[in-house]
Amino acid sequence: MNSKLWIVLLTALMVHAGDRITGLNIASRSEVIAQHGMACTSQPLATQIALDILKNGGTAVDAAIAANAALGLMEPTGNGIGGDLFAIVWDAKTQKLHGLNASGRSPKSLTLEYFLENGYESIPPYGPLPVSVPGCVDGWFELHNKFGRKPMAEILAPAIQYAREGFPVSELIAYYWRLSAQRLQKYDGFAEIFMPDGRAPEKGEIFKNPYLANTLEIIAEKGRDEFYQGEIAQKIAAYMKEQGGFLNYDDLATHNSEWVEPVSCNYRGFDVWELPPNGQGIAALQILNILENYDIQAMGFGSAEHIHAFVEAKKLAFEDRAKFYGDMEFAQVPIDKLISKEYAKSQFKRIHPQNAARKLDEPRLKDGDTIYLTVADKEGNMVSLIQSNYRGMGSGMTPGKLGFILQDRGELFSLEREHNNGYEPRKRPFHTIIPAFITKEGKPWMSFGVMGGSMQPQGHAQIVMNIVDFGMNLQEAGDAPRIRHDGSSEPTGSKMIDGGVVCLESGFDYDVISRLMKYGHRVQFSSGGFGGYQAIMRDDNNNVYFGASESRKDGQAAGY
């Protein structure tokens, strides 16, 4: 056979191998499809735990709590019971969405004057000062009391067993663990638990955390009050006092989560739901409302027009995020106006079709590792849950041989006195972690999230566009190359910026990048910081669930 024919055949085979039935070659794998239940998490072992709970008669919420507890052990680089939690739950009985804000508040005894009098320009990222009340455990019990069925002892048993017997550390988590350990090993208690043999565990090594097993057993047996008012609370308070911190027993004892009404916008016939501030979820709604004024489908995925429209809409939404978002018990946040179609039209008129906006007031809220998971059960219940310590493993504060690290979410407060997110005692800080949900004609359609700091609302909007505008399936929507716009250099407050930077994953054409640069965008390729995606979609016609998991992470979607 001559060489030219070999080349033709080889080319044909390569093209065929790269093709998918949908005509797109961006998906790493097919969607998972199952009838009775679906679990999608960032760690295959946690996914299997969730499925076991479902198979044994647990609800979607039971399975989500079990998976979250396991992830706190297996991915301490992103979450744990020292952090906060948010969730959106579709309840099949009432045919209604429920929102839970399980984020903690700042210490009552720590004041803005303390920071100003001691010369702080921002709240430190590590140590005792950024620690706020951990809301995760209370969030578990709020969810369980409303939507759970199995006893908490059974739900937490798999995580307890893995904590005692150990689990193999995955490659990605080993990498992030090593980075966090370099920063946090100086804090009392951290190295003893998280650096066996004096270092972070490597890929494939078995890690055990018997202290966390003990703590989870106490919680399973005695309930949430033991964490906030009992022995665990006392150990946290004593440790924080030793470290010069302000979080005390009273802060823990008076903590409560809050059930909130999710808010939505309609994007081309689909209702996209987020939770109201103190999180940044409505930024995704603002972006989508602006983009609805474009014919995104006609632009084509990955075109210069598509990327330009998205980035400019993001800039405008984040301008409002910088100014308005905060704890609504302390600040007036004009949600109805911000997510209205009329306001979006006025914002749309500010966008030039071929010129990048150069100066906007926008703070940079630093990225933090997070976990997102979603579970659906055979009764039609679906839960969208996100949980985080912030800044990877959190503050470094590792109290009383309890097996976990306290979060550093308080770093996100502004020290500007009149700012909506300005520091005050007993106030919830601005939060980056956001769960999402989509309904169609009043029925549950999709539960999803994209973890990763300020990437999250950008990721939410891109997932919706990928599915609604570009016709991608659930897996393709997550695997498609992403866009991330980064803004200013200030962590809090606002600062005039010079257009920011458009970060692109590989997969976008070079001629597109050239056009974006002609529009005035600064463009760079980046290999990280594009978030981690999980999703479940309900197909009522066939009575099945579709599941998808992030190809950039270690996760798994699985059903039964």
Q: How far is CA 76 from CA 71, 128, 140, 328, 412, in A?
A: 7, 18, 17, 30, 20
Count CA within 13 A, CB hemisphere, residue 433: 30
Candidates 258, 250, 75, 32; CA nearest to 170 is: 75
CA angle, residues 147, 333, 120, in degrees to nearest 5: 100
CA angle, residues 397, 403, 404, in degrees to nearest 5: 45
Q: How far is CA 165 from CA 206, 210, 244, in A?
A: 9, 8, 35
Taking the C-alpha atoms of residue 541 and residue 538, their distance in angstroms, rounded to an integer, is 9
What does DSSP assign to residue 201? Answer: P
Question: In angstroms, how far is CA 106 from the centroid of its own chain?
Answer: 21
* Strands 523-525 and 501-504, bridge-based pairing: parallel
Look up residue 222 and give its two tokens.
């005695």
Q: How far is CA 22 from CA 26, 29, 468, 550, in A?
A: 10, 12, 15, 19
User: Which residues are designated catalytic?
Assistant: 370
What stretches of 339-422 show up as alpha helix (H) in DSSP? 341-348
Dihedral sign for Cα atoms in the order 147, 148, 152, 154: negative
Taking the C-alpha atoms of residue 465 and residue 455, their distance in angstroms, rounded to an integer, is 15
Q: Are the beta carbons of 257 and 102 closer than 8 angstroms?
A: yes
Q: Are the beta carbons of 331 and 421 closer than 8 angstroms?
A: yes
